[in-house]
Amino acid sequence: MTPIISFEVDPYLANAYQTLRVDGNEVGHVALSWSAIDVANGVRNWWPLDAHIQKAYAQGTKLSIAIEFIHGGEADLPAYRWGEFPGWDSADLLDILTAFLGDMKGRFPRGDTVHTLAYLWLGEGPDRFAATNPGQDAAMLRFYGRLVAEARRTFPAAHIGTIVTPALVAQPQGGALVRALRDSLDILGLSVYPEDLPGGLPDPQIALERMADAIAPWQDGPFAVLEAGYPSSEALGSSLNRQIAFADLLADWLHRRPATLELFCWSPLSDPNGALADSLARRRFPLEADSSLRVDFARRIATMSLHNLDGSVKPARHDWVDRRP
């Protein structure tokens, strides 16, 4: 199997789908917050998703959509609905999310998801949630089993998965939870940035080796790498040339890829500005008391992509497009 190559597209940069097609990418990956869409009781702001669906449909690009009801280790629920998390055994929680998915299906042209939705990711970071909320594994697994069944009925042509960061789960029960989640899903999405691993920013060869080591335990089932990349900033000890080296090494590795790798996503598509990079960092580390983690992440993701903030391409983009599978 040759993996599908993708880029992550910020929810407010839907015009990037033309760039995706020019670069020969089959899928655009976008993460959307359930709480940001369900803004009030009976009121949903579908504009960001609508924009992505319309642009992807027009360009003939498929979508990989993550619906974040968990993000960064905490439940990301609509503020109007619950003052606190109601628990995974809440029938109300399942009913509301099921209705949300049904409403989401109606956003696609003629209700057609077959030609537009390739992957649907339910939550990001259930492993982190479990690590900070011990004793909820069994209830979480029951909830996921029920929600996945509903998602399969609603989107029968899409691969249904969840996104985890297994390299950050040190406890044995964390790995057991991720495997149990994977067994109830079609595919597992892994987030593996160089900065998620110890030792600071490694050189390109070591960064690739660490990524391969981090995903090795999960290669026996279908999986995707949804967040990966390498910064180009000299202020971080990198450079445009080091980013080229990483892109070349990564392209070579993808030609030798694990057989069960279905999707590889370089993240993000374009360098975010300072405010957006900070926002992404705060969403990734909402529970971290040490703000240096967020600052470090924001600095790295600010130059992680293969396109500059204005959309112009970096030198590594040419090597990546020419050499990847």
**DSSP string spanning 175-190?**
HHHHHHHHHHSSEEEE
| Max CA separation in the chain (angstroms) | 53
Q: Give the chain's count of helices (H) and strands (E).
A: 12, 12
- CA–CA separation, 286 and 308 (whole Å): 27
- The pLDDT of 268-273, averaged and rounded, is 88
* CB-side neighbour CA atoms (13 Å) of 282: 6
- Show the tokens assigned to 63: 């979508």
pLDDT digits (tens, 9 = 90+) for 76-88: 888 888 878 899 9
The reported pLDDT for the residue numbered 12 is 52
Buried b (16+ CB within 10 A) or exposed e, 35-69: bebbeeeeebeeebbebbbbbbbebebbbbbbbbb
The reported pLDDT for the residue numbered 103 is 93
SS3 304: coil
* Domains within the chain, CATH numbers bracketed: 4-323 (3.20.20.80)
The reported pLDDT for the residue numbered 315 is 96
- CA–CA separation, 283 and 277 (whole Å): 10
- CA–CA separation, 256 and 259 (whole Å): 9
Q: Which of 19, 52, 48 is nearest to 269 (CA)?
A: 19
Asked whether residue 2 carries a pLDDT value surpassing 70, the answer given is: no
- The pLDDT of 51-70, averaged and rounded, is 89
When the pLDDT of each residue in the chain is averaged and rounded to a whole number, the result is 86
Radius of gyration of the chain (CA): 19
272 Ramachandran zone, left/alpha/beta (phi>0; psi -120 to 50)? beta
- Show the tokens assigned to 209: 């080796």
- CA–CA separation, 68 and 240 (whole Å): 33
- The pLDDT of 154-179, averaged and rounded, is 81
| Cβ partners under 8 Å of residue 204, min gap 6 | 230, 242, 243, 245, 246, 249
Residue 74: pLDDT band with limits 50, 70, 90: confident
Residue 21: pLDDT band with limits 50, 70, 90: confident
- The pLDDT of 224-249, averaged and rounded, is 93
- The pLDDT of 152-156, averaged and rounded, is 95
- Percent pLDDT > 70 in the chain is 92
**DSSP string spanning 134-187?**
TT-HHHHHHHHHHHHHHHHHH-TTSEEEEEE-GGG--SHHHHHHHHHHHHHSSE
pLDDT digits (tens, 9 = 90+) for 192-214: 876 555 566 889 999 999 889 88
- CA–CA separation, 224 and 276 (whole Å): 25
Asked whether residue 10 carries a pLDDT value surpassing 80, the answer given is: no
- The pLDDT of 10-36, averaged and rounded, is 78
Tokens 């079609």 map to which residue?
A: 186
Residue 14: pLDDT band with limits 50, 70, 90: low
- Gap between the terminal Cα atoms of the chain: 11
Choice among 6-10, 12-16, 133-137, 258-262 with the minimum mean pLDDT: 12-16
The reported pLDDT for the residue numbered 104 is 94
The reported pLDDT for the residue numbered 26 is 85
**DSSP string spanning 285-297?**
STT-S-HHHHHHH
Asked whether residue 97 carries a pLDDT value surpassing 80, the answer given is: yes
CB 78 within 8 A of CB 36: no
